[in-house]
Amino acid sequence: MSEPDDPRWLDDVAGELRREVPVRPAWRARLLDEVARTPTPSLRDDIDDTFDHRDERAGDRGRRRWSISVGPVGSLAAASMLIALGAGATYVAMSRFGANTRAGAGRTAVTAASPQLASSAPASTEREVVRFELAAPRASHVALVGSFNEWNPVATPLARDPASGKWVVSLRLPPGRHVYAFVVDGDVTADPSAPRAADEDFGSANSVVFVSSPRT
C-alpha cells in the first residue's frame, strides 16, 4: 500500500475498505424467512416505519406515494400534466414554458391520497406524468420501450382506452430527453407524431419525448 504522503494513498485505502464482505448464508436465510412471514407490500400500505420518528430526516416525512401504473390506466385519471402523443394529437411540452396544453391551466401536483402522508411543504418531485398514446385498432398487444425502462418490452404494456379506442399508458418521467418506441404485436415502430431520434443503429427509428424540469 502506498505511503500516506503518496497522492494515491486514498485510492489504496478506499480500495482496501471496499473489499467484498461476504454475506453469511445463515444470515441471508434468516432474512428471507422473515420476509416470507411479512405481509407483501402493496401500493395501499399505510405503514411508515421506514424511519424512526426520532431519527428520521426532514423531507422524507409525508412523501408522496409512487403512482406509476403498469396496467389499466383508469387509476391515473387524476394525473396532472398530460403530453398527448399519437396520430392526430397535438404534441406539446410541459406548460411551464408557456405552450398550450390539453390539460389547460397550470400544473397540479400528484398529491398523496392518505392524510397520514400529508407533509407541511409539498415535496417537489421532479418527475412529470407523461401520457403515451397510439392508434392501433388491429393490434392485440402494444408495449412501450425506451431509455426510461431499459428497453424492456415487458415492463410497460399499454392498455386500450375504452373511450377513444387508443392504446395508452402514463408514466412518471424525470426531466430531460427520452428516446422510445412502441412495440406493436412484436413490431417496433416510432411514434408517428413525436419528434424522431436520428440514429437508426439497429434498423428502425425511435421517437423522442422531452420532459421539462420545474423551474424553482
Partner 1 sequence: MSVRLLALVVAFAASAATAGAQEVDRTLPSQLSAPTRATLERLIDSARVAGLPVDPLYSKVREGVFRAADDERVLAAVRRLTRDLGDARSALGDGAGAEEIAAGANALRAGLQPGDLSRLRESRGRRDDHPLTVALVVLADLATRGVPPAMATASVNELVARDVSDGSLLSFRQNVERDLVSGRSPASALDARTRAMIDDRKP
Partner 2 sequence: MTQPEVRGFNLATMTDAMLVRRVLEGDTAAFTTLVDRHAAACTRFAMRMLGNREDAEDATQETFLRAYRSLARYEERHTFRTWLFQILINRCRTAAVRRQRRHRMFLVDANALAEASVRPAAEASDIRAELQRAIDALDPEQREAFLLKHVEQLSYDEMAAATGIGVSALKMRVKRACDRMQWMLREGEASDVGT
Give contact residues for partner 2 (rule: CB under 8 A).
1, 3-5, 9-10, 13-14, 16-24, 27-28, 30-32, 34-36, 38, 40-45, 47-52, 55-60, 63-66, 68, 70, 125-127, 149-150, 152-155, 172, 174, 183, 186-189, 202-204
CB of 8 to partner 1, least distance (A): 7
Residue from 204, 213, 162 nearest 183 by CA: 204
Q: How far apart, in whole angstroms, are the C-alpha atoms of residue 57 and residue 153?
A: 37
- At residue 143, what is the residue type? A
Residue from the set 103, 178, 184, 191 that interacts with partner 1 by CB under 8 A:
178
As a whole number of Å, the end-to-end CA separation of the chain is 47
CB-nearer residue toward partner 2: 18 or 138: 18
Q: How far apart, in whole angstroms, are the C-alpha atoms of residue 74 and residue 163?
A: 11
Residue from 116, 129, 42 nearest 78 by CA: 129
- Coil, helix or strand at residue 189: strand
CB-nearer residue toward partner 2: 149 or 170: 149
Partnered with residue 198 across adjacent β-strands are none
- At residue 52, what is the residue type? D
Residues in the chain: 216
Task: Count how many Cα atoms sit within 13 Å of the Cα of residue 194 in the half-sphere of its side chain.
Answer: 29
Q: Is 212 in the site for partner 1 (CB under 8 A)?
A: yes
CB of 171 to partner 2, least distance (A): 10
CB of 162 to partner 2, least distance (A): 23
Binding mask 137-176 toward partner 1 (x if CB under 8 A, else -) reads --------x-xx-xxxx--------------------x-x
Site for partner 1 in 99-138 (CB under 8 A): 99-100
- Coil, helix or strand at residue 154: coil
Residues 6+ apart with CB under 8 A from 10: none
Binding mask 183-202 toward partner 1 (x if CB under 8 A, else -) reads -----x----x-xxxxx-xx
* Binds 55: which of partner 2, partner 1, none (CB < 5-8 Å by kind): partner 2
CB of 86 to partner 2, least distance (A): 18
DSSP string, 168-197: EEEEEE-SEEEEEEEEETTEEE--TTSPEE
Binding residues for partner 1 (CB under 8 A): 8, 10-12, 14-15, 90-95, 97-100, 145, 147-148, 150-153, 174, 176-179, 188, 193, 195-199, 201-206, 208, 210, 212
